[in-house]
Every structure is written in C-alpha cells, then in structure tokens.
C-alpha cells in the first residue's frame, strides 16, 4: 500500500467510528462533534458526495449507507437507501462478502484487488465498533491515472530544472578554469551549491517514483548477495572515506556461514545500502570504522550499519526518515551537504521490498540503522 493510501486508511478508520456513532446515536466523539456543529446530515452528505465508493455495514451485514460512487463501481441501480437492505441483495459477489467477513473476523484493515465486469477495483475493509464496518472502493484505473499524472508532473518539473542546472554547471566549470585569488571561494561555493541542487532534483524524482508505484505482478527479482552489494556500495564511497581514514568493517553474525541473500531490485537495493553507508560516513569521526553486520533468522535477514559518531537524539530517532529532516548539524563530521532525502528514499525502497528500516543508538556509542528484508520463500 502506498504512503497516501496508508494515511487515507487511517483517516477512514476514524471516520467509520464517527459514522457508526451517528447511526447508532451514541454520545461519543460523534456526539461531541454534533454539539460543535457537525450535523449528521453534513457528515453523511460528504460521504455521499465522495469521489470514492463507501459502504457502511452493520453487524448483521445490513447496508446502512451506499454512496453514488459505490453504486457506479458495483453497478447497482438507484441506491439501496433509504430502505435498508442486506449486503447480499445489493451485491452477492463472493469476493466482496469474503472481504467483509475477513474484516469483521480479524478486526483490522483488509485489502482486495477485484476484477469486476472488466474493471479493476481496489477495496479496503475498515473495521469499526460493535461489528460495524465500512468498505471503501477505488477504481484502480482512475487511481493509476492520478499517480501517473503526478509522476509525469514531477518528471516534467525535474526535466525543466535539469536543463538550466546543466547550463549553470558548465558556466561554473568555465569560471573555475579562469579562477583567481579574489573569486576562488565564490566559484567553489557556486559549483558546490549547483551540484547539491542537481542531487536534490534527482532524489525528488526517485522518491516520487517510489511513492507512486502501485503494487503489481512483476517478474521474479534476482537473488542478491548482501555482502557483495555492501562491498560495491562502499567502493563508491571509498574516495571520500580514505582521506579521512574511515574504514569499513563487514562481518557476519555467524562466522563461516554464507552471507544472506534476498530477492530485490539490484539498482534500488544498491541505492539503499549506499545511502545508509553515506549517512554513516557523514557522522563518523576521522580514523574510525563503520561496522556493517549481516545476519539472518526465521523469515528475515538483517543489515546493521553502525558509526562511531555522537549518536541520535530522541527527535532524530523519531524523525530521521522524514524527507528534508536534518538533525543537529554539530553531529556531522563531514562538510558535505546532502539533499535531505537520502534516508526517506531508504525507507521507501525498504517498504517496496516488503521490509522496514529503523534507527537507534548502539549500546557502546554511535548511531545504528537496521534494515530488515524478507528472505526468499
């Protein structure tokens, strides 16, 4: 599920509770909202006018609300309301009935991709109180169109920015060839800032592609050796690390065992590991090691990257993977700037591979970032 849909599902779950409270007439958060001026008719009116389909169903599988968009997607004629009807009499499709049953039984959000009359529909079952639930319906065709439009817009903006940036970089190179003692510092700063802007544009484009990617069937990903990928990523950073005396220590949790392998997109997993090592390098003191530990167990493999820097504050640990978040600049041991998107990209790549990443402090000092990825089934 993409980040926007996760946020929508969380909001929709809250909305289900409010609607149930209104329909049951209980004095709950919904009752407080009524006292503050949010009338039942307003809330139900918004649901009926929503651009996504909504079904509100009670514990006996009777439909209390079906909006116009849901009628279109389910192809049911002129509203089951105001007279209440069983869900099976409105739409008896086994996929829909199973989604409702699973949502009620497991009491957590359920997701289903459904082919109906040549149209691909995405459904989310959202549990409520006392056996009530909602089903939210999207047309994947329209959702994909929106995401494609958003990605196209970002790509167009990135392209328009790249052209003048390339021209400015050429101007900077020309100035650098004619530099003198009076403007050397200014020319160096110009080149550094232009490179940072170029990196920012590229990272924004990559993050947009990752966040807007819908889950879809794809060819099996190749098996990749994590130790080999770590070594390849470090090779790209060694010219920056060697002058500072920073070295890489790569070890397996169980010595003598082969390094864990995962199924992944090679270029994106390389980017993920590169960003983790690059972040550690920025905060590593000179003449210190960066430790990478690989281990596997159960259904997961783990990659830990530890630096010997000052560690993470409580706010850093909570917000480190947010886009454009920058911690205390005094932690940095490198003067290199970044786009502020490197760790946000790490998190998104991990999510697209069914994994997760988290940050903390090592008991013996320094920050430690942990990546979990599923082992091949």
Q: Which residues are marked as active site?
A: 159
- Indicate the burial class of 302 (C-beta count within 10 angstroms; 0-12, 13-18, 19 or more): middle
User: How far is the C-alpha of 355 from the C-alpha of 273, rounded, in Å?
Assistant: 13
CA proximity to 121, closest of 91, 142, 149, 102:
142
User: How far is the C-alpha of 114 from the C-alpha of 112, rounded, in Å?
Assistant: 6
Query: Would you give the DSSP letter of residue 369?
Result: E
Long-range pairs, 235-240, Cβ under 8 A, ≥24? 236/274, 237/274, 237/277, 237/278, 237/281, 240/281, 240/334, 240/336
Write the secondary structure of 252-306 as one string of H (helix), E (strand) and C (coil).
ECCCCCCCCEEECCHHHHHHHHHHHHHHHHHCCCCCCEEEEEEEEECCEEEEEEE
User: How far is the C-alpha of 136 from the C-alpha of 175, rounded, in Å?
Assistant: 58
Give how far Cα 40 sits from Cα of 17, 51, 55, 126, 175, Å: 13, 19, 16, 20, 67
């Amino acid at each position: 599920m993409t980040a926007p849909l996760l946020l929508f599902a969380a909001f929709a779950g809250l909305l289900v509770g409010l609607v149930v409270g209104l329909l049951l007439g209980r004095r709950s958060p919904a009752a407080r909202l009524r006292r503050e001026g949010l009338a039942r008719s307003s809330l139900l009116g918004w649901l009926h006018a929503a651009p996504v389909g909504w079904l509100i169903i009670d514990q006996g599988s009777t439909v209390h609300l079906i909006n116009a968009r849901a009628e279109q997607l389910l192809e049911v004629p002129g509203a089951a309301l105001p007279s209440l009807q069983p869900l099976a009499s409105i739409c008896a499709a086994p996929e829909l009935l199973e989604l409702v049953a699973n949502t009620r039984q497991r009491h957590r959000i359920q997701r289903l991709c459904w082919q109906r009359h040549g149209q691909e529909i995405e459904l989310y079952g959202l549990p409520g109180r006392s056996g009530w639930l909602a089903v939210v319906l999207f047309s994947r065709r329209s959702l994909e169109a929106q995401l494609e439009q958003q990605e196209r817009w970002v790509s167009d903006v990135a392209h328009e920015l790249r052209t003048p940036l390339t021209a400015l970089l050429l101007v900077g190179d020309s100035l650098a060839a004619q530099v003198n003692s009076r403007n050397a510092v200014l020319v160096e700063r110009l080149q550094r800032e232009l490179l940072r802007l170029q990196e920012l544009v590229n990272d924004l484009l990559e993050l947009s592609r990752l966040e807007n990617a819908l889950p879809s069937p794809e060819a099996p990903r190749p098996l990749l050796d994590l130790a080999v990928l770590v070594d390849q990523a470090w090779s790209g950073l060694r010219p920056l690390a060697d002058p500072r005396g920073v070295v890489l220590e790569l070890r397996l949790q169980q010595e003598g065992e082969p390094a864990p392998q995962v199924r992944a997109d090679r270029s994106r997993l390389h980017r993920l590991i590169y960003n983790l090592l690059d972040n550690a390098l920025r905060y590593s003191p000179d003449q210190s090691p960066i430790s990478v530990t690989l281990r596997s167990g159960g259904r997961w493999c783990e990659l830990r990257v530890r630096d010997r820097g000052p560690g993470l504050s409580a706010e850093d640990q909570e917000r480190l993977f947010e886009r454009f978040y920058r911690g205390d600049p005094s932690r940095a041991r490198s003067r290199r700037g970044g786009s502020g998107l490197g760790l946000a990209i790490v998190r998104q790549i991990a999510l697209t591979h069914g994994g997760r990443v988290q940050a903390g402090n090592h008991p013996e000092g320094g920050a430690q970032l942990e990546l979990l990825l599923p082992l091949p089934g």
